[in-house]
């Protein structure tokens, strides 16, 4: 982790105190605003300079062909790529006759602040033109949580010394030019002019554009209106054509005067609704925003976030950088899912075009558990979306000759969009991840309606896939061969432990759910014979074990693979996937991301404490963390097996993934799953939280540099508060039901919690069963204890 000043370290803000053009792309992602429906990258108001313009609507995509050097049966024929839709952020400014551009004239001051409590991005600029005319520009931008279709900007211009003429151009722009493609599979495809104009309108202070995509035939509209406050003689004009709508305001400002413009932008899209319907939808959304006004939108935003932080905040004493980072992480997780409303949560949320805007298994494995315990309604909406794509998953399974449902590895609409089948088609664990997310949601919320109408069908169809995909050998053991687990550097292998354990849980959960809900099971043609077969496969599931090394191979015979030559692998050769053939990776003991270690987190009751310690040590020295999904899981298990300082190091890496651009691809959007993983690393790692089989348990312990950890979560409608100090944990309930009780476990001992009285329990000392694990050369995480010591000095900058 390199160290350079980027953003100041503050508890509730991310502050950029000067404009660093080298960090422009990263800041555009960090400062992105979204509500799960609309996403605006943190581009400058005037649009230039930019690294990557970006305005996104959840699930609004274009089709593109997937090229293959050689065709193969069952290969997906087309991909789906998120579209950069009509840009409503643009507000251009001319001072006298000089365009405001931070690259020209003199930038006296430039500061941007992302306020995590208010949910807005503020900008404060003082700029002097080449002619010596200076103005101060202040803007505040939000994407509304309370009004799903609305984004808004308050924009103020004031002269500094002399009277100036100002011209403000507020615009809607479609089909912006995007940066060219790069050779990195994590980057999106570049679409040239994907939007075809259907209608445009301008009049007074309002304008609108409507477009349809060429191939996917999705229709969208964007409309804007303005509230103006300025000199009485100001002039206002609006005009529009196919790809541009503009409202222009001209006035003269003397010192002490200002021009204030509130820009309201409404977005809507549909695959079915007509042009008039979409046009009227955005017009109505604008009227709603005008009714509330700027102050009303800001008040609703703060109220929404006050409620969210009341139940989702994590307090951390002793590491100010991680404290800031985990709050930024939770803010982005909320933005990704708050108003997704039966649409997916993509790997980058709506903060950038990385991975083509696709949703992967990481959403169910990392993001949904966090939402389940903090924003359960958002978790349910995402699972409803998966349920809505079941027919496509059934079709995919039928194409591949399997029963049940084969959910896609990467997608937007629900079709498989991965042209690389070893990572895509073979990564069948996605079905078990979805099933597990549904079960955990039901256990945590007690939502029986969801269980009957959504979870049962998800569980049944995913269980059917396992029974058709796997087989019993001559001795009766059940195998899942030819699969790719979470570690994409070990592909198309046999009996991946993570996949097999998750499939076993899936099969058992499906059998239990079908038994509890016979009416739903009957409607799905589930009979006793099928339930018996599920239970038999689960009971006979093969879990490989190396008796000589006393560890679990992550796939059968993994511990016999050739060792990777780490000494000959220089730091410039990471990530390995960009510098070595996949075939070299598949044949060796090198791990991209936690795989067997991930199994020990989510299926921890299938391993002994001794197994966990030995497995963790074995895989630490082979895991290179070329995936952002690894550090958070390594943090969880490092804490569980007693290596608390190492856990703290990994917590820092997971939380600071985007603030310090550790994987050098934050430019394409933040890593939503890694950010959710920061919550998991703290709550499941240092807090020791588990919910195996619907039983809530904690085993908290703190590393030396953290003095206090406090967090809340929702369980069965009750708000549980956990406060951890070095030698004691305190559990309390906050509920209006004075008779409410909650049973949980603390370090293996039962605790009965009531609303009346908090319960304090001592924390036993951690006793690691192995020595401090080692990592591959050059891949050790940065030591938080050293970074905290340096950050406390007067001279050390924040890490980046």
Beta-carbon-side half-sphere exposure of residue 641 (alpha carbons within 13 Å) = 28
Give the number of other Cβ atoms within 10 Å of residue 661's Cβ.
20
Give the number of other Cβ atoms within 10 Å of residue 563's Cβ.
10
Place of tokens 């049940």: 404
Task: Report the candidate in 369, 469, 489, 479 with the shortest Cα–Cα distance to residue 428.
Answer: 469
Task: Report the candidate in 411, 406, 435, 414 with the shortest Cα–Cα distance to residue 360.
Answer: 411
What percent of the residues of the chain are helix, what percent strand, and what percent coil, each to the nearest 5?
A: 35, 25, 40
The rounded distance, in Å, linking the Cα atoms of 683 and 640 is 12
Cα–Cα–Cα angle for 270, 272, 278, rounded to 5 degrees: 50
What six digits make up the tokens of 424?
Answer: 């895509």
Angle between helices 320-337 and 376-388 (to 10 degrees): 40
Could you tell me where the DSSP H helices lie in 253-319?
A: 275-312
Residue 602 marked ligand-binding: no
Residue 592 marked ligand-binding: yes
The rounded distance, in Å, linking the Cα atoms of 444 and 714 is 7
Residue 348 marked ligand-binding: no
Q: What is the DSSP letter of 685?
A: I
The pairing of beta strand 697-698 with beta strand 91-95? unpaired
CA dihedral 41, 43, 48, 52 (to 10 degrees): -30
Task: Report the candidate in 601, 564, 603 with the shortest Cα–Cα distance to residue 580.
Answer: 564
What is the residue-wise DSSP string for 542-559?
----BTTTTB--SSTTGG
Residue 361 marked ligand-binding: yes
Buried (b) or exposed (e) across 58-88, using 16+ Cβ within 10 A?
A: bbbbbbbebeeeeeeeebbeebbbbbbbbbb
Burial class (CB in 10 A: 0-12, 13-18, 19+), 2: exposed
Q: Which of 62, 488, 530, 653 is catalytic?
A: 488
Cα–Cα–Cα angle for 662, 668, 672, rounded to 5 degrees: 70
Residue 300 · residue 292 · CB < 8 Å? yes
The rounded distance, in Å, linking the Cα atoms of 65 and 417 is 10
Give the number of other Cβ atoms within 10 Å of residue 136's Cβ.
16
3-class DSSP state of 148: coil
Catalytic annotation on 488?
Answer: yes
Q: List residues forming the annotated binding site for substrate.
A: 361-362, 592-593
What are the catalytic residues? Answer: 488
Q: Which residue ranges are tagged as binding site? A: 361-362, 592-593
């Amino acid at each position: 982790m390199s160290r350079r000043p980027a953003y100041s370290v503050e508890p509730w803000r991310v502050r950029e105190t000067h404009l660093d053009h080298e960090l422009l792309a990263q800041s555009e992602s960090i400062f992105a605003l979204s509500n799960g429906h609309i996403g605006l990258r943190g581009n400058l108001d005037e649009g230039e300079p930019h690294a990557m313009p970006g305005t996104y609507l959840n699930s609004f995509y274009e089709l593109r062909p997937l090229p293959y050097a050689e065709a193969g049966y069952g290969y997906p024929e087309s991909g789906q790529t998120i579209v950069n839709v009509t840009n409503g952020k643009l507000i251009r400014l001319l001072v006298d006759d000089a365009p405001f551009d931070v690259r020209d004239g003199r930038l006296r001051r430039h500061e941007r602040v992302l306020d995590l409590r208010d949910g807005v991005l503020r900008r404060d600029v003082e700029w002097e033109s080449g002619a010596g005319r200076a103005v101060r520009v202040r803007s505040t931008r939000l994407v509304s949580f309370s009004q799903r279709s609305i984004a808004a900007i308050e924009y103020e211009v004031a002269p500094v010394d002399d009277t100036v003429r100002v011209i403000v151009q507020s615009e809607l722009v479609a089909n912006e030019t995007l940066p060219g493609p790069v050779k990195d599979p994590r980057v999106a495809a570049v679409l040239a002019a994907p939007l075809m104009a259907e209608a445009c309108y301008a009049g007074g202070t309002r304008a609108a554009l409507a477009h349809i995509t060429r191939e996917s035939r999705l229709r969208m509209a964007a409309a804007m209106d303005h509230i103006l406050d300025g000199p009485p003689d100001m002039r206002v004009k609006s005009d529009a054509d196919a790809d541009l709508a503009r409202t222009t305001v001209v006035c003269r400002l003397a010192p002490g005067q200002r021009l204030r413009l509130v820009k309201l932008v409404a977005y809507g899209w549909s695959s079915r609704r007509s042009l008039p319907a979409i046009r009227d939808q955005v017009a109505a959304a604008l009227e709603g925003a005008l009714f509330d006004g700027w102050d009303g939108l800001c008040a609703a935003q703060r109220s929404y976030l006050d409620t969210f932080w009341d139940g989702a905040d994590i307090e951390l004493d002793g590491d100010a950088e991680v404290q800031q980072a985990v709050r930024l992480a939770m803010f982005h997780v909320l933005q990704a899912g708050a108003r997704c409303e039966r649409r997916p949560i993509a790997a980058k949320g709506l903060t950038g075009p990385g991975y083509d805007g696709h949703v992967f298994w990481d959403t169910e494995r990392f993001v949904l558990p966090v939402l389940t315990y903090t924003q359960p309604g958002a978790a349910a909406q995402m699972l409803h979306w998966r349920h809505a794509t079941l027919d496509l998953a059934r079709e995919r399974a039928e194409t591949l000759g399997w029963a049940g449902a084969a959910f896609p590895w990467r997608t937007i609409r629900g079709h498989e969009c991965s042209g690389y089948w070893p990572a895509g088609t073979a990564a069948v664990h996605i079905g078990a991840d979805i099933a597990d997310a549904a079960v955990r949601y039901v256990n945590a919320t007690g939502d029986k309606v969801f269980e009957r109408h959504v979870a049962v069908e998800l569980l049944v169809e995913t269980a059917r896939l396992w029974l058709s995909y796997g087989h019993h050998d001559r001795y009766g053991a059940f195998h899942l061969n030819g699969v790719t687990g979470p570690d994409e550097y070990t592909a198309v292998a046999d009996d991946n432990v993570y996949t097999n354990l998750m499939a076993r849980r899936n099969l058992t959960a499906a059998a239990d759910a079908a038994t509890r809900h016979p009416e739903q099971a009957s409607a799905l043609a589930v009979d006793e014979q099928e339930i018996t077969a599920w239970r038999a496969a689960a009971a006979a599931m093969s879990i490989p074990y190396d008796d000589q090394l006393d560890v679990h191979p992550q796939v059968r015979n993994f511990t016999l693979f050739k060792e990777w030559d780490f000494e000959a692998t220089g730091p410039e050769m990471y990530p390995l996937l960009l510098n070595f053939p996949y075939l070299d990776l598949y044949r060796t003991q090198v791990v991209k991301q936690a795989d067997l270690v991930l199994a020990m987190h989510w299926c921890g009751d299938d391993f002994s404490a001794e197994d966990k310690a030995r497995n963790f040590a074995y895989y630490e020295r082979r895991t290179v963390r070329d995936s952002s999904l690894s550090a958070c899981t390594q943090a969880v298990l490092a804490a569980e097996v007693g290596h608390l300082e190492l856990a703290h190091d990994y917590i820092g890496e997971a939380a600071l993934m985007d603030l310090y651009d550790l994987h050098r691809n934050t430019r394409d959007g933040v890593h939503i799953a890694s950010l959710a993983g920061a919550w998991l690393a703290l709550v499941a790692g240092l807090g020791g939280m588990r919910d195996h089989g619907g039983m809530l348990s904690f085993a908290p312990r703190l590393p030396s540099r953290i003095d206090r950890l406090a967090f809340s979560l929702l369980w069965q409608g009750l708000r549980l508060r956990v406060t951890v100090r070095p030698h004691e944990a305190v559990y309390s309930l906050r509920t209006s039901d004075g008779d409410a009780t909650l049973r949980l476990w603390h370090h293996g001992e039962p605790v009965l919690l009531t609303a009346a009285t908090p319960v304090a329990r001592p924390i036993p000392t951690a006793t690691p069963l192995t020595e401090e694990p080692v990592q591959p050369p050059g891949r050790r995480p940065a030591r938080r204890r050293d970074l905290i010591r340096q950050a406390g000095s007067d001279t050390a900058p924040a890490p980046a």
